[in-house]
Amino acid sequence: MERRRFLAYGAAAASAVLASGLARAESFAGKQIRLIVPFPAGGPTDIVARPLAQMLGDALKATVIIDNRGGAGGSLGADAVAKSAPDGHTLLMATVGTHAINTSLYKKLPYDAVKDFTPIGLVATAPVAIVVHPSVQAHNVAELVALAKRSSGKLNYGSAGVGTPGNLTGEIFKAASGIQLQHVPYRGSAPALTDLIAGQITLMFDPLQSVLANVLGGKIRALAISSKTRSPVLPSVPTIAESGYPGFEATAWWAVFAPAGLAADATAALSDATARIVRSGDFRAKLEPLGVAPMALSGAAFADFQRAELAKWGKAVRDSGASMD
Protein backbone atom coordinates (compact mmCIF):
# COMPACT_ATOMS: atom_id res chain seq x y z
CA MET A 1 0.00 0.00 0.00
CA GLU A 2 2.75 2.44 0.99
CA ARG A 3 4.71 1.64 -2.19
CA ARG A 4 1.61 2.26 -4.35
CA ARG A 5 0.96 5.53 -2.53
CA PHE A 6 4.61 6.61 -3.06
CA LEU A 7 4.53 5.73 -6.76
CA ALA A 8 1.21 7.51 -7.21
CA TYR A 9 2.59 10.59 -5.47
CA GLY A 10 5.71 10.51 -7.69
CA ALA A 11 3.63 10.22 -10.85
CA ALA A 12 1.39 13.07 -9.73
CA ALA A 13 4.41 15.26 -8.96
CA ALA A 14 5.99 14.52 -12.35
CA SER A 15 2.70 15.31 -14.08
CA ALA A 16 2.45 18.57 -12.18
CA VAL A 17 5.97 19.60 -13.25
CA LEU A 18 5.24 18.67 -16.88
CA ALA A 19 1.95 20.56 -16.81
CA SER A 20 3.67 23.57 -15.28
CA GLY A 21 6.36 23.50 -18.00
CA LEU A 22 3.75 23.22 -20.75
CA ALA A 23 1.73 26.03 -19.22
CA ARG A 24 4.81 28.19 -19.02
CA ALA A 25 5.69 27.42 -22.65
CA GLU A 26 2.19 28.51 -23.63
CA SER A 27 2.67 31.72 -21.64
CA PHE A 28 5.33 32.82 -24.16
CA ALA A 29 2.72 32.75 -26.95
CA GLY A 30 2.25 36.13 -28.56
CA LYS A 31 5.11 37.63 -26.55
CA GLN A 32 8.50 38.94 -27.61
CA ILE A 33 11.80 37.30 -26.66
CA ARG A 34 15.08 39.10 -27.22
CA LEU A 35 18.05 36.86 -28.08
CA ILE A 36 21.18 38.93 -27.56
CA VAL A 37 24.06 37.95 -29.84
CA PRO A 38 27.21 39.47 -28.30
CA PHE A 39 28.96 39.85 -31.66
CA PRO A 40 28.26 41.75 -34.90
CA ALA A 41 25.74 40.53 -37.46
CA GLY A 42 27.01 38.04 -40.02
CA GLY A 43 29.62 36.40 -37.79
CA PRO A 44 29.75 32.74 -36.68
CA THR A 45 27.61 33.33 -33.58
CA ASP A 46 25.01 35.23 -35.57
CA ILE A 47 24.88 32.41 -38.12
CA VAL A 48 24.03 29.89 -35.38
CA ALA A 49 21.60 32.23 -33.61
CA ARG A 50 19.34 33.15 -36.53
CA PRO A 51 17.90 29.71 -37.40
CA LEU A 52 17.60 28.97 -33.68
CA ALA A 53 15.67 32.20 -33.10
CA GLN A 54 13.26 31.47 -35.93
CA MET A 55 12.60 27.91 -34.78
CA LEU A 56 12.34 28.89 -31.11
CA GLY A 57 9.76 31.50 -32.01
CA ASP A 58 7.75 28.89 -33.92
CA ALA A 59 7.99 26.40 -31.04
CA LEU A 60 6.85 28.89 -28.39
CA LYS A 61 4.47 30.79 -30.69
CA ALA A 62 6.45 33.89 -29.81
CA THR A 63 8.47 36.50 -31.67
CA VAL A 64 12.20 36.02 -31.11
CA ILE A 65 14.24 39.05 -32.10
CA ILE A 66 18.01 39.01 -32.63
CA ASP A 67 19.78 41.88 -30.85
CA ASN A 68 23.45 42.14 -31.94
CA ARG A 69 25.58 43.76 -29.24
CA GLY A 70 29.24 43.29 -30.06
CA GLY A 71 32.25 44.45 -28.11
CA ALA A 72 34.93 43.33 -25.64
CA GLY A 73 35.03 39.74 -26.85
CA GLY A 74 31.32 39.29 -26.29
CA SER A 75 31.44 40.63 -22.74
CA LEU A 76 29.21 43.65 -23.38
CA GLY A 77 26.29 41.59 -24.66
CA ALA A 78 26.75 38.92 -21.99
CA ASP A 79 26.75 41.54 -19.24
CA ALA A 80 23.56 43.07 -20.64
CA VAL A 81 21.80 39.72 -20.24
CA ALA A 82 23.27 39.16 -16.77
CA LYS A 83 21.71 42.46 -15.67
CA SER A 84 18.31 41.81 -17.30
CA ALA A 85 15.14 40.73 -15.53
CA PRO A 86 14.95 36.92 -15.13
CA ASP A 87 11.59 36.61 -16.85
CA GLY A 88 12.58 34.46 -19.84
CA HIS A 89 12.18 37.29 -22.31
CA THR A 90 15.88 38.14 -22.57
CA LEU A 91 18.30 35.37 -23.57
CA LEU A 92 21.96 35.19 -24.54
CA MET A 93 23.52 33.34 -27.46
CA ALA A 94 26.66 32.56 -25.48
CA THR A 95 29.95 31.20 -26.79
CA VAL A 96 33.03 29.40 -25.57
CA GLY A 97 34.48 32.90 -25.32
CA THR A 98 31.82 34.54 -23.19
CA HIS A 99 31.32 31.56 -20.88
CA ALA A 100 34.69 29.79 -20.68
CA ILE A 101 37.61 31.81 -22.05
CA ASN A 102 36.78 35.35 -20.91
CA THR A 103 36.69 34.37 -17.24
CA SER A 104 40.47 33.90 -17.34
CA LEU A 105 41.30 36.28 -20.20
CA TYR A 106 39.79 39.53 -18.88
CA LYS A 107 41.16 41.11 -15.73
CA LYS A 108 37.90 42.88 -14.91
CA LEU A 109 35.07 40.81 -16.38
CA PRO A 110 31.79 42.50 -15.38
CA TYR A 111 29.88 39.24 -14.89
CA ASP A 112 30.34 35.77 -13.40
CA ALA A 113 29.89 33.18 -16.16
CA VAL A 114 28.27 30.73 -13.74
CA LYS A 115 26.58 32.67 -10.93
CA ASP A 116 25.00 35.40 -13.07
CA PHE A 117 23.20 33.09 -15.53
CA THR A 118 20.66 30.31 -15.81
CA PRO A 119 21.84 27.73 -18.37
CA ILE A 120 19.22 26.80 -20.96
CA GLY A 121 21.31 24.44 -23.07
CA LEU A 122 24.16 23.74 -25.43
CA VAL A 123 23.25 24.32 -29.07
CA ALA A 124 26.24 23.51 -31.29
CA THR A 125 29.98 22.95 -31.50
CA ALA A 126 32.61 23.48 -34.19
CA PRO A 127 36.18 22.20 -34.35
CA VAL A 128 39.20 24.39 -34.87
CA ALA A 129 41.05 23.52 -38.07
CA ILE A 130 44.79 23.58 -38.70
CA VAL A 131 45.13 25.04 -42.19
CA VAL A 132 48.25 25.84 -44.20
CA HIS A 133 49.16 27.61 -47.41
CA PRO A 134 49.35 25.07 -50.29
CA SER A 135 53.08 25.69 -50.69
CA VAL A 136 53.86 24.48 -47.16
CA GLN A 137 55.65 21.13 -47.23
CA ALA A 138 53.33 19.47 -44.75
CA HIS A 139 50.32 17.37 -45.66
CA ASN A 140 49.51 16.05 -42.20
CA VAL A 141 50.14 16.83 -38.54
CA ALA A 142 53.27 14.67 -38.28
CA GLU A 143 54.87 16.48 -41.23
CA LEU A 144 53.91 19.86 -39.74
CA VAL A 145 55.52 18.99 -36.41
CA ALA A 146 58.67 17.78 -38.17
CA LEU A 147 58.80 20.96 -40.25
CA ALA A 148 58.37 23.14 -37.16
CA LYS A 149 61.19 21.35 -35.36
CA ARG A 150 63.49 21.79 -38.35
CA SER A 151 62.60 25.48 -38.53
CA SER A 152 63.75 26.16 -34.95
CA GLY A 153 60.77 28.32 -34.00
CA LYS A 154 60.67 30.39 -37.18
CA LEU A 155 57.25 29.18 -38.35
CA ASN A 156 54.33 31.46 -37.57
CA TYR A 157 50.62 30.92 -37.23
CA GLY A 158 47.76 33.35 -37.51
CA SER A 159 44.55 33.55 -35.52
CA ALA A 160 41.52 35.80 -35.26
CA GLY A 161 43.07 37.49 -32.23
CA VAL A 162 44.54 37.08 -28.76
CA GLY A 163 42.45 34.78 -26.58
CA THR A 164 40.27 33.45 -29.41
CA PRO A 165 39.57 29.71 -29.74
CA GLY A 166 42.02 29.56 -32.64
CA ASN A 167 44.83 31.22 -30.70
CA LEU A 168 44.32 29.08 -27.61
CA THR A 169 43.95 25.85 -29.58
CA GLY A 170 47.25 26.73 -31.22
CA GLU A 171 48.83 27.13 -27.79
CA ILE A 172 47.37 23.83 -26.57
CA PHE A 173 48.73 22.13 -29.69
CA LYS A 174 52.17 23.68 -29.20
CA ALA A 175 52.29 22.32 -25.66
CA ALA A 176 51.11 18.87 -26.74
CA SER A 177 53.54 18.58 -29.66
CA GLY A 178 56.52 20.33 -28.11
CA ILE A 179 57.01 22.67 -31.06
CA GLN A 180 57.59 26.42 -31.23
CA LEU A 181 55.36 28.63 -33.37
CA GLN A 182 55.22 32.42 -33.43
CA HIS A 183 51.70 33.75 -32.95
CA VAL A 184 50.50 36.48 -35.30
CA PRO A 185 47.18 37.86 -33.98
CA TYR A 186 44.75 39.57 -36.35
CA ARG A 187 41.57 41.55 -35.86
CA GLY A 188 39.27 38.74 -36.93
CA SER A 189 39.45 35.71 -39.19
CA ALA A 190 39.06 37.53 -42.52
CA PRO A 191 42.38 39.44 -42.54
CA ALA A 192 44.24 36.39 -41.24
CA LEU A 193 42.78 34.26 -44.03
CA THR A 194 43.71 36.89 -46.60
CA ASP A 195 47.34 36.75 -45.49
CA LEU A 196 47.35 32.95 -45.34
CA ILE A 197 46.02 32.68 -48.89
CA ALA A 198 48.67 35.20 -49.99
CA GLY A 199 51.40 33.18 -48.28
CA GLN A 200 52.24 35.90 -45.76
CA ILE A 201 51.80 33.47 -42.85
CA THR A 202 52.53 29.74 -42.77
CA LEU A 203 49.46 28.34 -41.09
CA MET A 204 46.38 29.25 -39.13
CA PHE A 205 44.23 27.85 -36.34
CA ASP A 206 40.60 28.89 -36.80
CA PRO A 207 37.10 27.42 -36.34
CA LEU A 208 36.15 25.23 -39.28
CA GLN A 209 33.20 27.30 -40.46
CA SER A 210 35.50 30.30 -41.02
CA VAL A 211 37.95 28.45 -43.28
CA LEU A 212 35.74 25.81 -44.90
CA ALA A 213 34.98 27.62 -48.16
CA ASN A 214 38.66 28.29 -48.85
CA VAL A 215 39.58 24.68 -48.03
CA LEU A 216 36.94 23.36 -50.42
CA GLY A 217 38.08 25.89 -53.02
CA GLY A 218 41.68 24.68 -52.81
CA LYS A 219 43.09 28.02 -51.66
CA ILE A 220 44.34 26.54 -48.38
CA ARG A 221 44.88 22.98 -47.11
CA ALA A 222 43.40 21.49 -43.94
CA LEU A 223 45.71 19.16 -42.01
CA ALA A 224 43.47 18.25 -39.08
CA ILE A 225 40.56 19.36 -36.91
CA SER A 226 40.31 19.55 -33.14
CA SER A 227 37.07 17.66 -32.46
CA LYS A 228 36.69 14.07 -31.23
CA THR A 229 35.38 12.88 -34.57
CA ARG A 230 35.83 13.88 -38.20
CA SER A 231 33.52 16.42 -39.77
CA PRO A 232 30.98 15.21 -42.35
CA VAL A 233 31.88 18.19 -44.54
CA LEU A 234 35.58 17.19 -44.62
CA PRO A 235 35.52 13.42 -44.08
CA SER A 236 39.06 12.90 -45.39
CA VAL A 237 40.59 15.32 -42.89
CA PRO A 238 41.66 13.53 -39.68
CA THR A 239 41.30 14.76 -36.14
CA ILE A 240 44.33 15.92 -34.17
CA ALA A 241 43.56 13.09 -31.73
CA GLU A 242 43.94 10.43 -34.41
CA SER A 243 47.06 12.17 -35.75
CA GLY A 244 49.18 11.14 -32.80
CA TYR A 245 47.64 13.13 -29.92
CA PRO A 246 45.03 10.91 -28.25
CA GLY A 247 42.41 12.78 -26.26
CA PHE A 248 43.09 16.12 -27.96
CA GLU A 249 39.86 18.10 -28.15
CA ALA A 250 39.28 21.84 -28.24
CA THR A 251 36.09 23.08 -29.85
CA ALA A 252 34.24 26.33 -30.21
CA TRP A 253 30.67 26.11 -28.93
CA TRP A 254 27.43 28.03 -28.60
CA ALA A 255 24.79 27.84 -25.90
CA VAL A 256 21.71 29.68 -24.66
CA PHE A 257 21.68 31.29 -21.23
CA ALA A 258 19.11 33.38 -19.35
CA PRO A 259 19.75 35.71 -16.40
CA ALA A 260 20.22 34.09 -12.99
CA GLY A 261 17.02 33.54 -11.04
CA LEU A 262 14.83 32.37 -13.91
CA ALA A 263 11.91 30.32 -12.58
CA ALA A 264 12.23 26.55 -12.87
CA ASP A 265 9.15 26.16 -15.07
CA ALA A 266 10.35 28.83 -17.51
CA THR A 267 13.81 27.23 -17.57
CA ALA A 268 12.26 23.84 -18.33
CA ALA A 269 10.08 25.25 -21.11
CA LEU A 270 12.97 27.04 -22.80
CA SER A 271 15.36 24.10 -22.33
CA ASP A 272 12.89 21.58 -23.74
CA ALA A 273 12.07 23.75 -26.76
CA THR A 274 15.74 24.44 -27.45
CA ALA A 275 16.72 20.77 -27.18
CA ARG A 276 13.94 19.70 -29.57
CA ILE A 277 15.11 22.28 -32.11
CA VAL A 278 18.77 21.28 -31.84
CA ARG A 279 17.88 17.61 -32.37
CA SER A 280 15.70 18.37 -35.38
CA GLY A 281 16.69 17.54 -38.92
CA ASP A 282 15.86 21.07 -40.06
CA PHE A 283 18.35 22.66 -37.67
CA ARG A 284 21.03 20.12 -38.57
CA ALA A 285 20.47 20.78 -42.27
CA LYS A 286 21.14 24.49 -41.74
CA LEU A 287 24.34 24.11 -39.69
CA GLU A 288 26.17 20.96 -40.81
CA PRO A 289 27.01 22.25 -44.32
CA LEU A 290 28.79 25.15 -42.58
CA GLY A 291 31.00 22.85 -40.51
CA VAL A 292 28.96 23.35 -37.33
CA ALA A 293 27.61 20.33 -35.43
CA PRO A 294 24.32 20.67 -33.51
CA MET A 295 24.62 19.28 -29.97
CA ALA A 296 21.89 19.29 -27.34
CA LEU A 297 22.95 19.30 -23.70
CA SER A 298 21.11 20.72 -20.69
CA GLY A 299 20.70 20.41 -16.94
CA ALA A 300 23.46 18.81 -14.88
CA ALA A 301 25.22 17.46 -17.97
CA PHE A 302 25.58 20.95 -19.39
CA ALA A 303 26.75 22.30 -16.02
CA ASP A 304 29.46 19.63 -15.95
CA PHE A 305 30.41 20.50 -19.53
CA GLN A 306 30.79 24.20 -18.73
CA ARG A 307 32.81 23.44 -15.60
CA ALA A 308 35.26 21.32 -17.62
CA GLU A 309 35.48 23.99 -20.34
CA LEU A 310 36.25 26.72 -17.80
CA ALA A 311 39.13 24.60 -16.46
CA LYS A 312 40.52 23.64 -19.89
CA TRP A 313 40.43 27.08 -21.47
CA GLY A 314 41.53 28.76 -18.25
CA LYS A 315 44.71 26.70 -18.30
CA ALA A 316 45.24 27.54 -21.97
CA VAL A 317 44.89 31.27 -21.24
CA ARG A 318 47.34 31.09 -18.35
CA ASP A 319 49.85 29.01 -20.30
CA SER A 320 49.69 31.41 -23.26
CA GLY A 321 50.13 34.49 -21.10
CA ALA A 322 47.19 36.15 -22.87
CA SER A 323 45.47 38.93 -20.96
CA MET A 324 42.95 41.66 -21.75
CA ASP A 325 42.00 44.71 -19.71
Run of H or E including 26 = helix 2-27
pLDDT score at 24: 61
Average pLDDT taken over every residue of the chain: 92
How far CA 278 is from CA of 243, 273, 289, 295, in Å, comes to: 30, 9, 15, 6
Whether the Cβ atoms of residue 42 and residue 97 lie closer than 8 Å to each other:
no
Q: How far apart are the first and last CA of the chain?
A: 64
> Does the structure show a pLDDT above 50 at 42?
yes
pLDDT score at 221: 98
pLDDT, one tens digit per residue, over 113-142 is 999 999 999 999 999 999 999 999 999 999
pLDDT score at 80: 98
When mean pLDDT is compared across 20-34, 85-99, 193-207, 250-264, the lowest value belongs to 20-34
Please state the length of the chain. 325
> Does the structure show a pLDDT above 50 at 62?
yes
> Does the structure show a pLDDT above 60 at 281?
yes
pLDDT, one tens digit per residue, over 186-239 is 988 999 999 999 999 999 999 999 999 999 999 999 999 999 999 999 999 999
> Does the structure show a pLDDT above 60 at 5?
no
Q: What is the DSSP letter of 238?
A: P
CA dist., res. 251 & res. 129, Å (int):
10
pLDDT score at 27: 78
Is the pLDDT higher at 240 or at 71?
240
> Does the structure show a pLDDT above 70 at 79?
yes
How far CA 322 is from CA of 31, 76, 110, 183, in Å, comes to: 42, 19, 18, 11
Q: pLDDT band for position 21 (50/70/90)? A: very low
CA dist., res. 309 & res. 210, Å (int):
22
Run of H or E including 257 = strand 251-259
Whether the Cβ atoms of residue 193 and residue 204 lie closer than 8 Å to each other:
yes
Whether the Cβ atoms of residue 141 and residue 218 lie closer than 8 Å to each other:
no
Whether the Cβ atoms of residue 256 and residue 121 lie closer than 8 Å to each other:
yes
> Does the structure show a pLDDT above 90 at 4?
no
Run of H or E including 226 = none
Rounded to 5 degrees, what are φ and ψ at 143? -70, -35
pLDDT, one tens digit per residue, over 83-119 is 999 999 999 999 999 999 999 999 999 999 999 999 9
Run of H or E including 231 = none
Full set of structural domains in the chain with CATH: 2-126+252-320 (3.40.190.150), 127-243 (3.40.190.10)
